[in-house]
Structure 1
């Protein structure tokens, strides 16, 4: 589905990504691991058209480099940024409605009458706390609740692939477990996931494949089991 080849990305004169290559298949969870500053978030932003880049990013055979972020989203890619970009003055339900409107625009462009895979009931079923607070302004939610909301709002856009940047950052252990189950639910419904995560235990337990980044390049690709057994890669590129 998503194919990346020889991807270079820049912030002004700063050359951040150096020939990144990998792919994400249909219904697959791929973990993108690495220390802070390794280039993981920049990779996500490059795919979504949010940074200057060169190389090939193909989505179902269509080139993405040069497209605007909203055009990429309308093709079926979702992005959950690390900074939880919720709309603080809107309620939980209104935030979810914005995601749903994005899905409708995409479906109307693709085929009249097409329906999304997700509903409000799905979101509230996965995260009952959001149902309890559906009429509450998002800005007063806890960090964990805002993370749930960001995930769900993106999902309401009905993406076929979702890029999630550090979804468990700062969350309590019980919420981390909920997020892990949420990602498994995505896979069960045919949604591909590119998971940017620092918690190896969670990432390796739910992923089909693991990628490790270092200094803007992919330094390891393999199964979670292979990575667990590779002490050199873990020590050199992951452990603090």
Structure 2
């Protein structure tokens, strides 16, 4: 589904990614772990075209490196950014409608699905998105991305700064996404969520992949956790 090979990325003269290579199969949930600042978010941005990628990024066997973000999105690759890019002056309903690729789109997700998963969004459907709480905005961002009916969705720190109840709701949505056969690339600090839903894990350190394996393999490798995750 997604193949990243020898990916490099830069911010100005700063070399952030140093030959990142990994893959995600159809229907697979993969978590990208690591301490803050190791390049996890930059990896997703480079795949999506928000940061210029150097290397190969193939989505469903098509090279997408060099395409613009909207072109990549139309190919079926969804992206939920960490900074919750909602449209504050539009209503919740209008934000969700903007997530659709086509006005009369019929796909795996409907607005009714979004309201069923997160009833709070239905309660605030005609409220301006800018007055929502941080947790509600995170819910809206994820649901808007799903309205585009992606085949793979990249989600960057979905539970950052959320209350425990909201974290639980986000976790349920991730499981719902996986249950519908959609691949997920998850960047997440909370190991409990990553370990619960992931098929495989990658750990990043200093802009490189330093570990790849299953959840049991990760749990058995105490050195990786000590060297690259624990503070």
If the length of structure 2 is used for normalisation, what is the TM-score? 0.98
Alpha-carbon separation, structure 2, partners of 1:202 and 1:188? 15
User: 2:55 maps to what in 1?
Assistant: 55
Displacement, 1:54? 1.0
- Cα deviations across residues 137-182 of structure 1 (Å, max 9, x unaligned)? 1111000000000000011011100000000001111211111111
* 2:65 counterpart of 1:74: no
Which among 171, 190, 193 is matched to residue 202 of structure 1? 193
User: 2:165 maps to what in 1?
Assistant: 174
Give the direction of change, closer, same or farther, for the CA distance of 1:114–1:128 in structure 2 (3 Å limit): closer
* 2:141 counterpart of 1:150: yes
Aligned to 1:104, the other structure's residue is in SS state coil
* 2:116 counterpart of 1:116: no
Aligned to 1:52, the other structure's residue is in SS state coil
User: 2:93 maps to what in 1?
Assistant: 93
Alpha-carbon separation, structure 2, partners of 1:19 and 1:227? 22
- Cα deviations across residues 69-105 of structure 1 (Å, max 9, x unaligned)? 11000100010000000000111001001002xx217
* 2:124 counterpart of 1:137: no
User: 2:42 maps to what in 1?
Assistant: 42
Contact residue 20 and residue 216 of structure 1 kept, 8 A: yes
Alpha-carbon separation, structure 1, partners of 2:107 and 2:82? 25
Listed as ranges, the gaps of 5+ residues in structure 2 are: none
Contact residue 47 and residue 53 of structure 2 kept, 8 A: no
Aligned to 2:66, the other structure's residue is in SS state coil
Contact residue 17 and residue 217 of structure 1 kept, 8 A: yes
User: 1:6 maps to what in 2?
Assistant: 6
User: 2:153 maps to what in 1?
Assistant: 162
Contact residue 4 and residue 21 of structure 2 kept, 8 A: yes
> What is the root-mean-square deviation in Å for CA atoms of aligned residues?
1.1
Alpha-carbon separation, structure 2, partners of 1:182 and 1:61? 28
Displacement, 1:65? 0.9
Aligned to 2:121, the other structure's residue is in SS state helix
Aligned to 2:53, the other structure's residue is in SS state strand
Give the direction of change, closer, same or farther, for the CA distance of 1:220–1:188 in structure 2 (3 Å limit): same
**After the TM superposition, which residues 215-230 of structure 1 pair with which residues of structure 2 at under 5 Å, given as runs?**
215-230=206-221
- Cα deviations across residues 173-221 of structure 1 (Å, max 9, x unaligned)? 1211111111111111111000000101111111111110000000000
If the length of structure 1 is used for normalisation, what is the TM-score? 0.94
Aligned residue pairs total 231
Displacement, 1:115? 2.4
Listed as ranges, the gaps of 5+ residues in structure 1 are: 106-112
